Amino acid sequence: MNVRSYEQIFVGGRWQDGAGGTIDVVSPHTEEIIAHAAAGSAHDVDAAVRAARAAFDDGPWPRMTHAQRIAAVENLAGVYSTHLDDMADLITAQMGSPRSFSRLGQAAGAASMMHLAAQEARKYPWAERRHGILGEVHLRRVPVGVVGIIIPWNVPQNLLMPKLIPALIAGCTVVVKPAPETPLDSLWVAEMIEEIGLPEGVVSVVPGGRDVGEALVRHPGVDKIAFTGNSATGRHIASRCGAQLKRCSLELGGKSAAIVLNDAHIGKTVAGLKIAGLMNNGQACVAQTRILVSESRHDEFVDAMAEMMAALVVGDPADPETDIGPLVSQRQQHRVQEYIRSGKTQGATLVLGGDDSPVGRGWYVRPTLFADASNDMTIAREEIFGPVLTVIKYSDERDAVRIANDSDYGLAGSVWTKDVAHGLEISGQVRTGTYGINMYMLDISSPFGGFKQSGVGREFAEEGLAEYTELQSVVSAGKLPALDGD
What span, in angstroms and rounded, lies between the C-alpha atoms of 352 and 348? 12
Number of domains forming the structure of the chain: 2
- Cβ–Cβ contacts within 10 Å for residue 65, how many? 13
CA-based radius of gyration for the chain: 23
Q: Report yes or no on 442 lying in a domain.
A: no
Q: At what angle do helices 231-243 and 210-218 cross, to 10 degrees?
A: 30
Residue 159 has pLDDT above 60, yes or no: yes
Mean pLDDT of all residues in 18-32: 97
Q: Mind listing the pLDDT tens digit for each residue in 68-106?
A: 999 999 999 999 999 999 999 999 999 999 999 999 989
Q: Report yes or no on 482 lying in a domain.
A: no
Domain range spanning residue 113?
A: 9-252+454-476
What are the CB-based long-range contacts (under 8 Å, 24+) for 297-304? 297/260, 297/262, 297/266, 298/371, 298/391, 298/393, 300/266, 301/260, 301/266, 301/269, 301/270, 301/391, 302/351, 302/369, 302/371, 302/391, 304/266, 304/267, 304/270
CB 9 within 8 A of CB 18: yes
Residue 247 has pLDDT above 60, yes or no: yes
Question: Phi and psi of 461, rounded to 5°?
Answer: 60, -165
pLDDT at 439: 97
Report in angstroms the alpha-carbon separations of 359 from 95, 313, 362, 386.
Answer: 17, 12, 7, 16
pLDDT at 486: 47
Q: Mind listing the pLDDT tens digit for each residue in 420-456?
A: 999 999 999 999 999 999 999 999 999 999 999 999 9
Q: Mind listing the pLDDT tens digit for each residue in 186-227?
A: 999 999 999 999 999 999 999 999 999 999 999 999 999 999
Q: Average pLDDT over the chain, rounded to whole?
A: 96
Q: Report yes or no on 175 lying in a domain.
A: yes
105 and 18 housed in the same domain? yes
Q: What percent of the chain has pLDDT over 70?
A: 99
Q: Mind listing the pLDDT tens digit for each residue in 173-189?
A: 999 999 999 999 999 99
Q: Report yes or no on 243 lying in a domain.
A: yes
Q: Mind listing the pLDDT tens digit for each residue in 332-345?
A: 999 999 999 999 99
Q: Report yes or no on 446 lying in a domain.
A: no
pLDDT at 134: 86
pLDDT at 483: 66
Cross-strand pairs, 371: 349
308 and 359 housed in the same domain? yes
Q: Report yes or no on 481 lying in a domain.
A: no
307 and 240 housed in the same domain? no
243 and 267 housed in the same domain? no
Cross-strand pairs, 413: 257
Residue 144 has pLDDT above 50, yes or no: yes
Mean pLDDT of all residues in 312-321: 96
Catalytic residues: 251, 285
Q: Calculate ∠ Cα 301-307-310, nearest 5°.
A: 135
Residue 484 has pLDDT above 80, yes or no: no
Question: 98: helix, coil or strand?
Answer: coil
297 and 393 housed in the same domain? yes
261 and 391 housed in the same domain? yes
Give the CATH number, domain containing residue 397.
3.40.309.10
Mean pLDDT of all residues in 400-419: 98
48 and 195 housed in the same domain? yes
- Cβ–Cβ contacts within 10 Å for residue 130, how many? 10
What span, in angstroms and rounded, lies between the C-alpha atoms of 389 and 234? 25
CB 414 within 8 A of CB 287: no
Q: Mind listing the pLDDT tens digit for each residue in 362-371?
A: 999 999 999 9
What span, in angstroms and rounded, lies between the C-alpha atoms of 28 and 76? 30
Q: Report yes or no on 198 lying in a domain.
A: yes
Q: With the C-alpha atoms ordered 118, 280, 214, 378, is the resulting torsion angle positive or negative?
A: positive
203 and 327 housed in the same domain? no
pLDDT at 244: 96
Confidence grade of residue 241 (pLDDT, cut at 50, 70, 90): very high
Mean pLDDT of all residues in 257-268: 98
357 and 466 housed in the same domain? no
Residue 384 has pLDDT above 70, yes or no: yes
142 and 271 housed in the same domain? no
Give the CATH number, domain containing residue 69.
3.40.605.10
What span, in angstroms and rounded, lies between the C-alpha atoms of 263 and 42? 56
341 and 264 housed in the same domain? yes
271 and 224 housed in the same domain? no
Q: Report yes or no on 1 lying in a domain.
A: no
